[in-house]
């Protein structure tokens, strides 16, 4: 993509309303634009990151056997009356009426809708287990939305829902998602630590939050350092292996880890002092097992092997991709801007032409772009008529993993410069070696 | 994907509320489920088709140089007051208030939001042209929603918006989209005919609807048969070639073509009788050039080469993927069910095991599934314990392009059966030849 044809509205000044670094950087890098309080448009660069996050989330859900659906954003109030949550949910629910005065709402979550879909179609234990998920926009009318897409009113969420015949089977479904989330965050370049959590308005008796550590995190967390280098299961992990998955979950819950809310100072004191870690954390995922909380009132029942009907055991599982984009920046930036992990970088390479209009530079850049794209790498080519300083600043700000710098001096010797954004390391090389060099990492 | 692990809630009975064939078939094939009047959940099979349609739409927009963004579903009423459309839009706009009593709405379209994004960032003619598009959910509160996803209240739309310095440049942007739409529909397996259209509530003075012909179409259309085999530009078409694109558009508007609203019987009578075609049509795309209708009141201005400010010339361009899914079924089905064009089939192959539990059949099916998937084909493997008749009926109903039938008799001779859904043609072949045979088409 040529930058001259792209839409990258970089801001020169730091926006005053942005309180945290990810919000500032997303605005400055032209990733998002606020359209109303807590409501954002995703501009081209931001959308590319968001889509990459979703791709990873989706791939790991599919690997774990979950099946993708898409429920509507607008839901019927009556469905929420069946579960008893319509009145209980409070002011965070955006309630509305259509032209016929029918009560609707913008879904903040979808337990009711998915339970309705399930009960309409599934009659037998033979059709279980099922895990249905979607990646879709939700709305929660926060009283004071802030922190950009970290806590926006309209936000993207992957929400999954599992259905099982009994508690033991539901536990396995829970473990599948637990492991899929470990893999998801690892692929996103994040170390997320599962912490026992309060179940809140979703209800239920088993719940974990997945927390990443970041200096600017929203809450205090306490855990054993053992989690920092605990291995994450490989792609080949067998999600049908009940005992195997339970073993992974047991290992990942064997040490102390708690958010402020669930923290127990006395138990934490038993962790060897050298292993105790107090830090700031950001919640990036939350999973719940809540048994028959929805299936009983909503009559989502199946026939068991003995022919009798019973309500299904359910769980729900959330990851917020729009929040993850911001959380990743909180965990990965420096003074010059964002540092994208390779997996979710909007482009792999920033190609910087130091002298646009110079025949040799223009030709070399066109060839390099073609060669990199042929090698499967995505390139944002800065072909603007700007001074080098502005181009370097833009490249650092938007944080693509690699910068390829092409100038007349180097080209005279047949060389270009390659810079790794994260480390700042630079090397000089022949353009033909570039695709292999970048692929090597 | 194994059907036993999938979520495909086939309906045995034809739903009474469905008036048109696409609605009936989408419900029966477990593609969608109605959650409220005119509001649908997309179940796994339907979502796969919808995503494939979006992939094609996106690829052709990108090819034409449009840039993808994503605007929020919830918009501020004040923005629509700037353009004067807030009061004018009427009851189809879903209006709502948040907890602070601020007026919001669920976007039925996004001219105002995109104009706000543009004016906040773009100052110079040097940054033009731009075409920003999104694929996102819209809401129009139809008084009587019906026909399933053909005319739903919550619907998916690709909406694009072009910005140019003057009318001539805007015409080229319009032509780019015109040609990209021709290519899009061709790739989707549809023959769409551009027809001069009324501009309606969007406004402006140049507009075309893209209409596909289908017996069950919503409106009457009149055109010259010449359109039925007019060539569509190849992938290599140069979207920067102003004269070349104008030539394509001229050819595609050179013959008579009009919807009922714009029909002129006298002019139609001049078409040679053998070429006159009266038929039913379904609108699948609509494009508009409306000059400065939004940029003037909303002050979206850029500096021209002479240093003076002027409002930008705009156009907007819509394709409805959720409607296209239904429209494709209207154009491509038979008594047994849907017949998907290859480009948007939810899976390429229905693999039918006639005797689940038979060692030879199970092994052969597992091997065939692996071989087809390795060859890049997607497979829905019917491994359910059902009688053959039910499996054949399901395969015909959901309309995958190929059916591979594996039974003990054939296997004893080393053969399986391949059926092409569209033609009903069958052939017997060695399983190892299957991937090459299917790929050949």
Query: A228: distance to nearest CA of chain B, Å?
Result: 35
Query: B187: distance to nearest CA of chain A, Å?
Result: 24
- The pLDDT score that the predictor gives to residue B441 is 63
Per-residue buried b or exposed e for A40-56, using 16+ beta carbons within 10 Å of the residue's own CB: bbbbbbbbbbbebbbeb
Cα distances from B338 to residues A87, B52, B313, in angstroms, run 43, 16, 43
The backbone torsions φ and ψ at residue B319, rounded to the nearest 5 degrees and listed phi first, read -130, 135
**Which chain B residues have a beta carbon less than 8 Å from that of A7?**
67, 69, 121, 130, 132
Split at pLDDT 50, 70, 90, the class of A331 is: very high
> pLDDT tens digits for B14-52?
888 898 999 999 999 999 999 999 999 999 999 999 999
Query: B193: distance to nearest CA of chain A, Å?
Result: 30
Q: Percent of chain B scored above 90 by pLDDT?
A: 93
Task: For residues B250-261, give the mean pLDDT.
Answer: 94
Task: For residues B141-163, give the mean pLDDT.
Answer: 95
- The pLDDT score that the predictor gives to residue B63 is 97
- The pLDDT score that the predictor gives to residue A255 is 95
Does residue A129 have a cis peptide bond before it, meaning omega lies within 30 degrees of 0?
yes
Task: Give which of B12, B28, B72, B321 to mutate to test A binding, by max A Cβ within 10 Å.
Answer: B72
For B123, residues 6+ apart whose C-beta sits below 8 A from its C-beta are B302, B303
Which DSSP symbol is given to A346?
Answer: S
Question: In this complex, which of B50, B94, B120 lies closest to A98 when CB atoms are compared?
Answer: B94
Chain B residue with Cα closest to A30: B121
In contact, A246 and A169? CB cutoff 8 Å: no
Question: In this complex, which of A36, A71, A153 lies closest to B41 when CB atoms are compared?
Answer: A71
Q: Which residue has the higher pLDDT, A200 or B49?
A: B49
- Number of Cβ pairs < 8 A linking chain A and chain B: 140
Split at pLDDT 50, 70, 90, the class of B439 is: confident
> pLDDT tens digits for B234-251?
999 999 999 999 999 999
CA atoms of A76 and A109, how far apart (whole Å) = 13
> pLDDT tens digits for A118-174?
999 999 999 999 999 999 999 999 999 989 999 999 999 999 999 999 999 999 999
CA A423 from centre of chain: 24
Which stretch of DSSP H or E encloses residue A250? helix A242-251
Torsion of CA A246, A249, A255, A257, to 10 degrees: -140
| Rounded (to 5) percent helix, strand, coil in chain A | 40, 30, 35
Interchain proximity A117–B5, CB inside 8 Å: no
Both tokens of residue A137?
């926009």
> pLDDT tens digits for A343-372?
999 999 999 999 999 999 999 999 999 999
User: Is the pLDDT assigned to residue B134 strictly greater than 90?
Assistant: yes
CA atoms of A197 and A177, how far apart (whole Å) = 16
**Which chain B residues have a beta carbon less than 8 Å from that of A141?**
98-99
Q: Which residues pair with A380 in a beta bridge?
A: A350
User: Is the pLDDT assigned to residue A441 strictly greater than 90?
Assistant: no
Both tokens of residue A89?
């949910």
Chain A residue with Cα closest to B163: A7
β A206-213/A276-291 pair status: antiparallel
**Which chain A residues have a beta carbon less than 8 Å from that of B43?**
69, 117
Q: Which residues pair with B440 in a beta bridge?
A: none
Q: Percent of chain B scored above 70 by pLDDT?
A: 98
- The pLDDT score that the predictor gives to residue A203 is 61
> pLDDT tens digits for B195-208?
988 766 666 668 99
In contact, A321 and A330? CB cutoff 8 Å: no
**Which chain A residues have a beta carbon less than 8 Å from that of B68?**
44, 47
Task: For residues B221-241, give the mean pLDDT.
Answer: 97
Pick from A322, A309, A315, A262: nearest CA to A286: A315
Interchain proximity A47–B69, CB inside 8 Å: yes
User: Is the pLDDT assigned to residue A63 strictly greater than 90?
Assistant: yes
Please state, rounded to an integer, the average pLDDT across all residues of chain A. Answer: 95
CA atoms of B419 and B405, how far apart (whole Å) = 8
Pick from B4, B1, B7: nearest CA to B41: B7
Q: Residue B60 burial by CB count (10 A; 0-12/13-18/19+): exposed, middle or buried? A: buried
**Which chain A residues have a beta carbon less than 8 Å from that of B39?**
72, 74-76
In contact, A130 and A122? CB cutoff 8 Å: yes
**Which chain B residues have a beta carbon less than 8 Å from that of A145?**
none
**Which chain A residues have a beta carbon less than 8 Å from that of B72?**
35-36, 39-41, 137, 154
Q: Which residues pair with A289 in a beta bridge?
A: A206, A315
Q: Which residues pair with B124 in a beta bridge?
A: B303
Question: In this complex, which of A72, A121, A122 lies closest to B154 when CB atoms are compared?
Answer: A72
Query: B412: distance to nearest CA of chain A, Å?
Result: 31
**Cα B155-B156-B160 angle, rounded to 5 deg:** 130
For B240, residues 6+ apart whose C-beta sits below 8 A from its C-beta are B65
Split at pLDDT 50, 70, 90, the class of A200 is: low
Interchain proximity A30–B121, CB inside 8 Å: yes
In contact, B148 and B23? CB cutoff 8 Å: yes
Interchain proximity B74–A154, CB inside 8 Å: yes
Interchain proximity A72–B41, CB inside 8 Å: yes
Which stretch of DSSP H or E encloses residue A112? helix A111-121
- The pLDDT score that the predictor gives to residue B427 is 97
> pLDDT tens digits for A202-248?
666 689 999 999 888 888 999 999 999 999 999 999 999 999 999 99
- The pLDDT score that the predictor gives to residue B393 is 97
Chain B residue with Cα closest to A42: B70
> pLDDT tens digits for B299-339?
999 999 999 999 999 999 999 999 999 999 999 999 999 99
User: Is the pLDDT assigned to residue A38 strictly greater than 80?
Assistant: yes
In contact, A75 and B36? CB cutoff 8 Å: yes
Quote the radius of gyration of chain B (alpha carbons, Å). Answer: 24
**Whose structure tokens read 């979550």?**
A109
The backbone torsions φ and ψ at residue B429, rounded to the nearest 5 degrees and listed phi first, read -150, 170
- The pLDDT score that the predictor gives to residue B135 is 98
- The pLDDT score that the predictor gives to residue B347 is 98
CA A288 from centre of chain: 18
Interchain proximity A106–B74, CB inside 8 Å: yes
> pLDDT tens digits for B364-420?
999 999 999 999 999 999 999 999 999 999 999 999 999 999 999 999 999 999 999
Interchain proximity A137–B137, CB inside 8 Å: yes
β B309-311/B301-303 pair status: antiparallel
- The pLDDT score that the predictor gives to residue A14 is 83
Task: Give which of A50, A74, A119 to mutate to test B binding, by max B Cβ within 10 Å.
Answer: A74
- The pLDDT score that the predictor gives to residue A124 is 96
In contact, A285 and A192? CB cutoff 8 Å: yes
Q: Residue B267 burial by CB count (10 A; 0-12/13-18/19+): exposed, middle or buried? A: exposed
Chain B residue with Cα closest to A94: B98
Question: In this complex, which of B6, B35, B113 lies closest to A41 when CB atoms are compared?
Answer: B113
Q: What are the structural domains of chain B?
A: 3-338 (3.30.930.10), 349-440 (3.40.50.800)
**Which chain A residues have a beta carbon less than 8 Å from that of B75?**
35-36, 39
Interchain proximity B67–A39, CB inside 8 Å: no
Q: Percent of chain A scored above 70 by pLDDT?
A: 98
Interchain proximity A74–B98, CB inside 8 Å: no
Interchain proximity A73–B33, CB inside 8 Å: no
For B132, residues 6+ apart whose C-beta sits below 8 A from its C-beta are A7, B66, B67, B68, B69, B114, B117, B118, B160, B161, B163
Q: Percent of chain A scored above 90 by pLDDT?
A: 93
**Which chain B residues have a beta carbon less than 8 Å from that of A52?**
none
- The pLDDT score that the predictor gives to residue B200 is 67
- The pLDDT score that the predictor gives to residue A148 is 95
Interchain proximity B41–A113, CB inside 8 Å: yes
Chain A residue with Cα closest to B41: A71
CA atoms of A330 and A147, how far apart (whole Å) = 11
């Amino acid at each position: 993509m040529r930058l001259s044809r792209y839409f990258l509205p970089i801001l020169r000044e730091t926006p005053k309303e942005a309180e945290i670094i990810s919000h500032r950087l997303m605005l400055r890098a032209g990733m998002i634009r606020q359209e109303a309080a807590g409501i954002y448009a995703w501009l081209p660069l931001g959308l590319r990151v968001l889509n990459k996050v979703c791709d990873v989330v989706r791939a790991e859900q599919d690997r774990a056997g979950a099946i993708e659906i898409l429920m509507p954003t607008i839901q019927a109030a009556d469905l929420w009356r069946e579960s008893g949550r319509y009145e209980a949910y409070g002011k965070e629910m955006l309630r509305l009426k259509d032209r016929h005065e029918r009560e609707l709402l913008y879904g903040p979550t979808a337990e009711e809708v998915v339970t309705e879909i399930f009960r309409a179609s599934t009659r037998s234990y033979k059709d279980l287990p099922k895990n249905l998920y979607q990646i879709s926009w939700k709305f929660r009318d926060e009283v004071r939305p802030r922190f950009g897409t970290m806590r926006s009113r309209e936000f993207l969420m992957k929400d999954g829902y599992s259905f099982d015949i009994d508690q033991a089977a539901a536990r396995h479904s829970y473990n599948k998602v637990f492991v899929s989330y470990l893999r998801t965050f690892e692929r996103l370049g994040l170390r997320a630590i599962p912490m026992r959590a309060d179940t809140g308005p979703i209800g239920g008796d088993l719940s974990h939050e997945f927390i990443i550590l970041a200096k600017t995190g929203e809450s205090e967390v306490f855990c054993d350092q053992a989690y920092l280098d605990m291995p994450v299961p490989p792609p080949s992990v067998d999600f049908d292996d009940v005992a195997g998955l339970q073993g992974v979950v047991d290992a990942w819950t064997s040490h102390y880890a708690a958010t402020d809310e669930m923290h127990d100072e006395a138990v934490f004191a038993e962790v060897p002092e050298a292993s105790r870690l107090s830090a700031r954390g950001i919640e990036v995922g939350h999973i719940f097992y809540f048994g028959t909380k929805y299936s009983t009132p909503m009559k989502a029942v199946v026939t068991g092997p003995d022919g009798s009907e019973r309500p299904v055991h359910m769980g729900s599982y959330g990851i917020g991709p729009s929040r993850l984009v911001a959380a990743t920046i909180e965990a990965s930036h420096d003074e010059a801007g964002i540092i994208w992990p390779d997996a979710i970088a909007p482009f792999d390479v920033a190609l910087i032409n130091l002298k646009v209009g110079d025949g040799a530079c223009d030709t070399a850049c066109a060839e390099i772009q073609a060669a990199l794209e042929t090698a499967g790498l995505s390139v944002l080519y800065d072909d603007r008529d700007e001074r080098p300083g502005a181009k370097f600043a833009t490249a650092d700000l938007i944080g693509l993993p690699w910068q390829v710098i092409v100038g007349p001096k180097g080209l005279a010797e047949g060389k270009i410069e390659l810079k790794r954004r994260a480390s700042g390391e630079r090397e000089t090389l022949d353009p033909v070696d570039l695709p292999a060099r970048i692929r090597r990492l």
